[in-house]
């Protein structure tokens, strides 16, 4: 091969290497600045535990937010990593958001606990753009829509549940252990163990049958 071709190839490889290095430095800098920004914007100081934050997290409210061991919030590469954040809000003093251990939550998770408890069990997997709430935030009756007398009901996601992306889980719902919630489902009522759940409103579409290892 001609020496000029070798030089051109070497230059191309060298340029590619530098571009990769610059990209990594830029990504780390962006992540650091974004996380710092949302740390400064957060108003909730009642945080217990130390999750691993791979996406910026906004902690809001007057209640408690608790984390077990090995909780990961956010993921790269995945949608919304650069243009979103995770919103965790325990709104009133009576509100508690509780994460178990070994939980992985992808980007753009939103949890708003207005006044009761939202509990996520051990080994739960959560996809992108998931919303979990314990309240309608407004009264249903038209004459009392803004009365502030609406109710909150606890939400519980039991152990080893797999929540797909774009899922919404409403107040008063318990999802039984090992269950799977399909992408885009809206869960308005409690679900059993070992179920595949899908739809709007979500229903059980089949039961998981397996042998324990």
CA distance linking residue 68 with residue 83, whole number of Å: 27
Report which DSSP code applies to 100: -
Active site annotation includes 150: no
| Rounded-to-integer distance, Cα 184 and Cα 165, Å | 6
Q: Are 151 and 169 in contact (CB under 8 A)?
A: no
Closest among 121, 116, 92 to 170, alpha carbons compared: 116
Distance of CA 106 to the CA centre of its chain: 5
Residue 153 gets the label, from left (phi > 0), alpha (psi -120 to 50) or beta, of: beta
CB-based contact 158:165 (threshold 8 Å): no
Residues 157, 124: contact at Cβ < 8 Å? yes
Which of 2, 87, 138, 141 is the catalytic position?
Answer: 138
**Which residues are annotated as catalytic?**
138
């Amino acid at each position: 091969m001609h020496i000029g071709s070798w030089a051109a190839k070497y230059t191309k490889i060298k340029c590619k290497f530098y571009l990769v290095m610059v990209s990594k430095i830029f990504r780390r800098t962006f992540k650091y600045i974004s996380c710092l920004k949302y740390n400064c914007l957060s108003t909730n100081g009642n945080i217990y535990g130390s999750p691993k934050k791979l996406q910026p997290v906004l902690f809001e409210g007057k209640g408690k937010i608790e984390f077990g061991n090995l909780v990961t919030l956010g993921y790269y590469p995945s949608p919304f990593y650069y243009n979103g954040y995770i919103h965790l809000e325990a709104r009133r003093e009576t509100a508690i958001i509780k994460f178990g251990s070994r939980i992985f939550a992808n980007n753009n998770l939103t949890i708003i606990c207005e006044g009761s408890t939202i509990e996520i069990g051990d080994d739960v997997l959560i996809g992108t753009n998931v919303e979990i709430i314990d309240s309608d935030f407004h009264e249903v009756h038209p004459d009392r829509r803004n009365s502030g007398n609406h109710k909150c009901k606890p939400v519980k996601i039991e152990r080893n549940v797999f929540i797909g992306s774009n899922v919404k889980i409403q107040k008063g719902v318990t999802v039984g252990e090992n269950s799977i919630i399909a992408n885009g489902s809206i869960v308005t009522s409690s679900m059993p163990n070992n179920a595949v759940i899908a739809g709007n409103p979500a229903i059980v579409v089949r039961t998981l049958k397996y042998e324990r290892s």
